[in-house]
Structure formats: C-alpha cells, structure tokens
C-alpha cells in the first residue's frame, strides 16, 4: 500500500497470467555435484495420472532401508504432464552442449514442453543463459523461489523410494518413515 498516511490508498492489481504449464523443473541445489548425483534417469508414466519424469539423484543402491526398498534424493527433476514418451534426455544428443545437470533438465523441459510457460522451482533465479535458451525456444521460464516452501515440504518432495517390484508395495510402508 502506498500513501496510506494521506488517506489515499493505492492497490496494485496483477491480472492472472495467460497460458498454462505442462512442464515443471525442480532444482534443489545450485551447481549440483555430478559425482554426488550420479544416477540419471527418464521414467515413463505407468498411467495417465502420472508424469513423465526426468531426474538426477543420489544412487539408490547406497541407501537400502528394507528388503527390496531403497531411498534416493533428487538433485533436480523435470516433470511433464500430460505424460508422453520422450527420448532419454541423458542420452539425447540434442542436449550435449548443456554444461551442467540442471541446465540439461531445463533445456529438455523447454524443448519438450508444448506450452509457452515452463515452471522453474529453484534456489536462484534463472541465469541469463537459461533465459536466453528459453527465448530461443519461444518459451518463458516462470521462476518460483525454492525458499517459498518450508524445509519439511522440500524434503518430502526431494526424497523418494525405489521398490524392487510391485509386490514390495504390500509391505513397503513398514520401512518408509514419514517426516
């Protein structure tokens, strides 16, 4: 509110943005360590209510928490909804010029998104290079600061479990602890 002391109150109205989002990128650490996040995958949705998921994470085999149950932590991930089949972004030569893991996620999200806007949840605003890349794809990175979310929420989103088969689901809850 401006000029409240004069009795004249000015309120800035921000109209809703136009367009929608089909790609969301989470970057949990600026400048991710490639040796820490050595597991890189593209997972395809099992049904229409799931997203196509591309991520880099800690190796799940280093944190076994139960029989056939492992835990991993995302360094970054990119979700595409509605799900569709895309080539594995970690093998795709179109992104070979990416200088970092997070840049490869962002490049892939801009390339595969069908919408004009791509949401970017990250600790820092997109760099000039990333904004330039978005412009080349005729897209807009919608930045959401990671610090807007509580640490507990970020930890819940960031940590995930890998099960060695569907039958493990029957007893996995006994080994997976919630915050």
For 146, the token pair is 């990671």
Residue pointed to by tokens 């009795």 = 7
Average pLDDT over residues 18-27: 90
The three state secondary structure string of 90-131 is CCCHHHCCCCCHHHHHHHHHHHHCCCCEEEEEECCCCCHHHH
The per-residue pLDDT for range 92-139, each reduced to its tens digit, is: 999 999 999 999 999 999 999 999 999 999 999 999 999 999 999 999
**Segment 31-62, tens digit of pLDDT:** 888 999 999 999 999 888 999 999 999 998 89
Total-model pTM: 0.83
Domain limits, the chain? 17-172
pLDDT for 8 beyond 80: no
Q: What is the mean pLDDT of the chain?
A: 89
């Amino acid at each position: 509110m401006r000029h409240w002391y004069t009795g004249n109150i000015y309120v800035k109205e921000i109209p809703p943005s136009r367009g929608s989002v089909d790609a969301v990128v989470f970057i949990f650490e600026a400048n991710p360590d490639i040796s820490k996040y050595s597991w890189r995958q593209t997972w395809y949705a099992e049904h229409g209510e799931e997203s196509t998921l591309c991520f880099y994470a800690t190796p799940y085999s280093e944190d076994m928490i139960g029989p056939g149950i492992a835990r991993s932590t995302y360094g970054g991930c990119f979700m595409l909804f509605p799900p569709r089949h895309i080539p594995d972004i970690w093998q795709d030569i179109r992104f070979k010029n990416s200088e970092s893991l997070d840049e490869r996620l962002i490049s892939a999200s801009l390339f595969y998104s069908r919408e004009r806007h791509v949401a970017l949840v990250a600790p820092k605003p997109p760099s000039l290079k990333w904004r330039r890349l978005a412009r080349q794809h005729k897209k807009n990175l919608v930045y959401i600061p990671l610090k807007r979310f509580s640490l507990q929420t970020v930890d819940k989103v960031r940590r995930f479990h890998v099960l060695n088969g569907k039958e493990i689901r029957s007893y996995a809850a006994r080994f997976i602890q919630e915050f």
